[in-house]
Amino acid sequence: MGIKPFSTHLHPPHSAKPLLPDAPFPRSPHILDCYFNAATASCARLAAGSAAEVAVRVATGAARCGAAIIRPPGHHAESSVAMGFCYYNNAAVAARAAQAAGARRVVVMDWDVHHGNGTQRIFYDDPTVLYMSTHRYDHGTFYPGTGDATEVRPVPPVLHPSRYQQPALSPFFGMQPSCSLLHNTCDTPTQHPPNRVSLVCTLTTPPS
């Protein structure tokens, strides 16, 4: 398929400058713990655009499923902050692209040793997107320090684990998503030895 850098998924046509400039720039409160080189900005936009393109193809029925094998990752990036080696939140861009293409409800499953603080924060108050995460927490001592099991909204009855044979997946089945996104950053066991993993599900209100 033809892959294009994202544009209208985050910015209106002919809008302000991209969030990441192409040229070197001084320190900014909007950029934390990230490395840059001459190609970072263009690569980050291409990665986000690739995720959006795949999501649109699936949401419109042009493809049954799809995969975007992209770098850099994205789940630490917030709406206005690049952090944790993540520049744009590719999963969030893909979810919004899917919704713009017609998907009413979207589930984002984040499979990574680190909690996707950016994705959770972006969709925390959005009842049309369910964010689920498996990650290492270690009482807040493991990066990024978020993702405690208490960081959830009240679960409506339709999503209660007692209704399902596989309680961990009950929010997914109850949501009845139009589109499902799996975000996997592929951190290796040698970099982060296995430890406690928690399942965090974020949902604000029952799906309509």
**How far is the C-alpha of 167 from the C-alpha of 61, rounded, in Å?**
30
> Quick check: 124 and 177 in contact, CB under 8 A?
no
* pLDDT, position 133: 85
Joined together, the tokens standing for residue 194 give 């296995």
Cis peptide before 72, with omega less than 30 degrees from 0? Answer: yes
pLDDT beyond 60 at 190:
no
pLDDT band at 166 (very low <50, low <70, confident <90, very high): low
| Integer Cα distance of 198 and 25 in angstroms | 38
DSSP state, 128? T
Q: Quote the DSSP letter at residue 14.
A: T
Residue 101's pLDDT is what? 96
The domains of the chain, with CATH numbers, are 40-202 (3.40.800.20)
Q: What is the pTM of this model?
A: 0.77
Can you state the angle between helices 90-100 and 40-59, rounded to 10 degrees?
40
DSSP H or E stretch at residue 82: none
Q: What is the pLDDT of residues 91-143, one digit of tens each?
A: 999 999 999 999 999 999 888 888 999 999 999 889 899 888 888 888 888 88
Report the catalytic residues. 76
Residue 159 has pLDDT above 90, yes or no: no
Query: How would residue 192 be classed by pLDDT, with cut points 50, 70 and 90?
Result: low
- Helix/strand/coil for 170: helix
Question: What distance in Å separates the CA atoms of residue 123 and residue 101, rounded to the nearest whole number?
Answer: 18
C-beta of residue 114 within 8 angstroms of C-beta of residue 84: yes
**What is the Rg, in whole angstroms, of the alpha carbon atoms belonging to the chain?**
17
Q: What are phi and psi of 8, to 5 degrees?
A: -75, -10
For the chain, the straight-line distance linking the first and the last C-alpha, in angstroms and rounded, comes to 34
pLDDT band at residue 173 using 50, 70 and 90 as cut-offs: low
pLDDT of residue 5: 41
> What digits encode the pLDDT tens for the residues 4-61?
444 334 433 333 344 555 544 556 778 888 888 889 989 999 999 999 999 999 999 9
Does the structure show a pLDDT above 90 at 90? yes
DSSP state, residue 74: -
